[in-house]
Amino acid sequence: MASYMLRRFLGSLVVMWAVATLVFFMLRLVPGDPIAAMLADAGGAEEIEAMRRSLGLDRSLLVQYGIWFGNMLQGDLGNSIYGSRVPVTEALAEALPRTLSLSLLAFVIAIVIAVPAGILSATRRNSATDTTVSLLAFLGLSMPDFWLAILLIIVFAANLQWLPAIGYVPLSEGFWPWFSHLILPAIAVGTAFSAIIARMIRSSLLEVLKSDYMRTARSKGLTPRMLMFGHALPNAMIPVITVIGIAFALLISGAVVVENVFAIKGLGRVLIEGILNRDYPIVQGAVLVVSAIFVFSNLLVDLLYGVIDPRIRLN
């Protein structure tokens, strides 16, 4: 298991390096000169030259890459080249907790709903409960998240006035203010995710319930609870965890979209503004962080695999 974990961890680092390198070179190959963009109104030829020198853009691409990479390892992602020119890490450090809060809350809500829904619809197959769950899952999957976001704002913020419509309050200012601002976007982001997981749990459980080892477990006269939680679920969750890994990516991209609807200045907002402003250091930094979330949540899923499945852990 230890060597498996180490292998997976090193693999993730390699992927991160590849992503960083790709992002660096791609941004430099994209047409459009950031300096020209920065100095759109003011600035003649020599100002542009000076700027280039100060940003190190006059060196060869490989040297630039080396410097950039070295700085990145030390946690220096450069400065924004637009507006206030804040350090990229500062902009990201402000945005990241918002996106993470939103994604994690969406994740938790989605799982809390999906797991019991999946179990109920599998154990009461073809019942009214099952039909209801299937219908809700279908609805949840077919509603675009930004559309759901707007719907939620109209109903719960505008009409009922139960919850704030937009903005973000850090957790340090209290649980309720934080939660009340995040709950609507979290529902908007998590609904499709929840629907996918509930469906997956249902079909995975139905498969497991037919298995020989479940028949063995029943032949022991175990209680329904022991059968479900001691035998069926641990097996049924194995394929579900894979899907969770993939669907988590979907959830992050959903968060990026929904942030904009709720005017939460998270990674998605930062990324979009960066692109509009041709603020390349910001874009690089944001893409890097989003990729890191992807890669490491996948790593987490792989490790979880080992925890739940002894065939992986012990081989």
- CB distance 197 to 110 below 8 Å: yes
Least distance to another protein, CB of residue 309, Å: 6
Least distance to another protein, CB of residue 234, Å: 5
Q: What is the DSSP letter of 173?
A: G
First to last CA, the chain: 8
Residue 39 vs 222, nearer CB to another protein:
222
Beta pairing partners, 79? 87
Residue 3 vs 311, nearer CB to another protein:
311
Least distance to another protein, CB of residue 168, Å: 41
Grouping H, G, I as helix, E, B as strand and the rest as coil, residue 124 is coil
Least distance to another protein, CB of residue 215, Å: 6
Residue 53 vs 215, nearer CB to another protein:
215
Residue 205 vs 255, nearer CB to another protein:
205
Give the C-alpha separation, 156 to 186, whole Å. Answer: 13
Owner of token pair 């675009």: 144
Least distance to another protein, CB of residue 138, Å: 25
Give the C-alpha separation, 8 to 11, whole Å. Answer: 5
Nearest to 94 by CA among 270, 287, 260: 270
Residue 69 vs 213, nearer CB to another protein:
213
Give residues in contact with another protein (CB under 8 A).
211-213, 215-223, 226, 230-231, 234-235, 238, 308-311, 314
